[in-house]
Structure 1
Amino acid sequence: MHVYTGNGKGKTTAALGLAFRAIGHEFKVHIIQFIKSMKMDTYYGELKSAERHHNLTITQFGVGFVGTHDANVDKMVANQALRYAEEVVNSRKYNLVILDEINIAIHYRLIDIDRVIEMIKNKPEELELVLTGRYAADEIIDLADYVTEMRLIKHPYLSNVKSRRGIEY
């Protein structure tokens, strides 16, 4: 199990790199995005790439950035994503499952960390599981085999530079 966390850029990008490598070996990969949504103004480039790879599935849940709308909606959608993730993880159809931004959903108490821990502990042994997002809980880090913390040193958004298509999204 892998965790990509921290305040720096690159958590989802690192997970996508692992997915790209796995696809090269004919692995079946499923990415479940907990916070990101096509309904947002930003269209994520990984969605376009996924259309070109038959072994890559991306499923989005979420209505955009947490805290910009009704918190009950965030919680309802995050729990839909968790139920779906539990089904995917236990399906044995995939070699690699990425739960993108799940750490944020846990941090903001949109989903129950105990359910996530149970899913991790009961996942099929052969399944490679990746959890991304800032604020990874200590309990999640303790269960992981790999933990990488992205640390922000310098980023254009600190100077009010807008996100760039193909780079940040």
Structure 2
Amino acid sequence: MKKQLEKGLIHIYTGDGKGKTTAAVGQGTRTAGGGYKVLMVQFLKGDDTGEIHSIEKLAPNFSLIRYAPLNNFYKFLSEEEKNATIREVERGIKEIGTYLESEEYNLIILDEIMAVLFNEIVTIKEVVELIEKKPPLVELILTGRNAPEELINLADYVTEMKMIKHPFEKGIYARKGIES
């Protein structure tokens, strides 16, 4: 028999500081370690990062699916690349709805869903509809900068990561094993 959470809530990790995805992966690790099933869905991320390899080691309790993996910012894509990205993200949104309805996973993480909204790849209405499909015993985490007020109002937890200082300001780029 599949384990079930006592109650499923909604988290948002937002802000301009480092750690939104890391916090989501940390919660996923805790949940998977408790014997629950976790699905992390990443949008617009194409880099080979340490979190991918950590998640692989937690299988089958922790799974990762990537939609529209990019190694560049969306705004720098050609029109053709943008259209392909839009199609893949839309496919991902539909599949997430199916995952929510199936209740196969106890925790679903929508990593960088705010970037998808910010870049106007999907509408706020589509994300709200996903949230509304969330069964009562499924936990949902949404990450990314610039969380819209409408989503903040729907959430149970909202954490803002605020950048006070970052090595990028000194010309130190993402380091393997730390930022990537």
Query: TM range, normalised to the smaller chain?
Result: over 0.9
Per-residue CA deviations over 1:8-44 (Å, capped at 9, x if unaligned) read 000000001100110111010000001112xxxx311
Structure 1 contact 4–150 (Cα < 8 Å) conserved: yes
Q: 2:169 and 2:67 mapped to 1: Cα distance?
A: 28
My pick for the range that moved more, 9-18 or 107-116, is: 107-116
Per-residue CA deviations over 1:37-71 (Å, capped at 9, x if unaligned) read 2xxxx311111112211201000112413122132
Give the corresponding residue for 1:12: 21
Identity %: 41
Structure 1 contact 75–110 (Cα < 8 Å) conserved: yes
Q: 1:45 and 1:63 mapped to 2: Cα distance?
A: 16
Give the corresponding residue for 2:3: none
Matches within 5 A, 1:11-160: 11-37=20-46, 42-53=47-58, 54-64=60-70, 65-70=73-78, 71-160=82-171
Q: 1:114 and 1:76 mapped to 2: Cα distance?
A: 17
Structure 2 contact 113–142 (Cα < 8 Å) conserved: yes
Give the paired residue count: 165
Q: CA RMSD in A?
A: 1.1
- Cα deviation for residue 112 of structure 1 reads 1.9
Structure 1 unaligned blocks of 5 or more: none
Aligned partner of residue 57 in structure 1, secondary structure: strand
Give the corresponding residue for 2:6: none
Q: Which runs of 4+ in 1 moved over 3 A?
A: none
Structure 2 contact 97–133 (Cα < 8 Å) conserved: no
Aligned partner of residue 83 in structure 1, secondary structure: helix
Q: 1:91 and 1:36 mapped to 2: Cα distance?
A: 25
Structure 1 contact 2–146 (Cα < 8 Å) conserved: yes
Structure 2 unaligned blocks of 5 or more: 1-9
Paired residue type of 1:128: E
Larger radius of gyration: 2
Per-residue CA deviations over 1:92-123 (Å, capped at 9, x if unaligned) read 00000000000110111101211210111221
